[in-house]
Amino acid sequence: MHIPVLTKEILKYLEVKPNENFIDATVGESGHTLEILKKNGPKGCVLAIDLDPKQVENSRLHTAHFKERVMLVNDSYINIKDIIRRENFKLVDGILLDLGMSSWQLEESKRGFSFKRNEVLDMRYSMENVLTAEKIVNEYPEYEIEKILRDYGEEKFAGKIARKISEIRKTKRIQSTFELKEAIQDALPPKFRSGKIHVATRTFQALRIAVNGELDNLKEFLPQAIEVLSSGGRLAIISFHSLEDRMVKNFFKNKLQQGLVKILTKKPITASYAEVLKNPRSRSAKLRAIIKINPKS
């Protein structure tokens, strides 16, 4: 079962009140959305967006007793302005963007997001996307694979891993998660093949980011989010790796200098020890939040 991360903190920093309207830009398995709906009734609405059509199809919001207050949309959060206009969703009091993957995507989608299951190397959130992890691994030049692993995974053995991939694919395509995991392990010196973080973690992260254009999407989303928020509206973002968190931090700082926002989280909010024990995936979650203010005259 999917457990949403930092739920209490999200409700605190979004300051959810009765009759206010919110956007959950990555609704996933609806955990955060359901908690917001409990707080923003009786007339408050939630615009719930997800790029993955299966997430929308499987959403608990279809059966929730307050489903009449939900607009559930299969689209990308980078189109947030168009979605708001299309759905006639006005007065946005708060926006949540949770950049993590859902339990369903990791454990049941069979798209190769996890190296713990032997699945096809897909890693797409949307099947309309023509780029897959299998295509990158087998068809991109070695130097491009190295750059992806270094830039998106911050993998210090990016060169060695890219070289091993290039060597293997001369005789056969690398088509499964286990084949890729084995290639990564073989590429590393023996003393680096075990550790607190699995050696395949950064490579799988980097490929997923590249396949789905995640950093470009976040960059495109941030200014739109500020634009569509009502004055006094709040934006809360949960990120799961340093590249995302750094981008959010720098964007918030820039908008603070322009006098457009007030930063509510001087440092990123992380999960409590108790939450990490209950939900280990919350360990890497970082929450940052701002409130939109009228620009200085």
CATH code of the domain containing 161: 1.10.150.170
Q: What's the one-letter identity of residue 27? A: V
Alpha-carbon span 21 to 205, nearest angstrom = 33
Q: pLDDT for 43-101, tens place per residue?
A: 999 999 999 999 998 888 888 888 899 999 999 999 999 999 999 998 999 999 999 88
The token duo for 207 is: 């490929």
- What value, to the nearest 5°, has the Cα angle with vertex 258 and ends 256 and 261? 40
Query: Residue 208's domain spans which residues?
Result: 108-212
The answer to whether 43 and 20 are in contact (CB under 8 A) is no
Count of positions (residues) in the chain? 297
Tell me how far the alpha carbon of residue 73 is from its chain's centroid: 17
Look at residue 256 and tell me whether its pLDDT is greater than 70. Answer: yes
Assigned domain for 1 exists: no
> Structural domain tally of the chain?
2
Q: pLDDT for 191-203, tens place per residue?
A: 888 878 899 999 9
Of 154, 189, 212, the residue that ends a domain is 212
Kindly report the pTM of this predicted structure.
Answer: 0.94
The token duo for 102 is: 């859902």
Closest CA to 208 of 127, 121, 80: 121
Alpha-carbon span 55 to 74, nearest angstrom = 9
Whether residues 173 and 254 share a domain: the answer is no
Of 190, 212, 234, the residue that ends a domain is 212
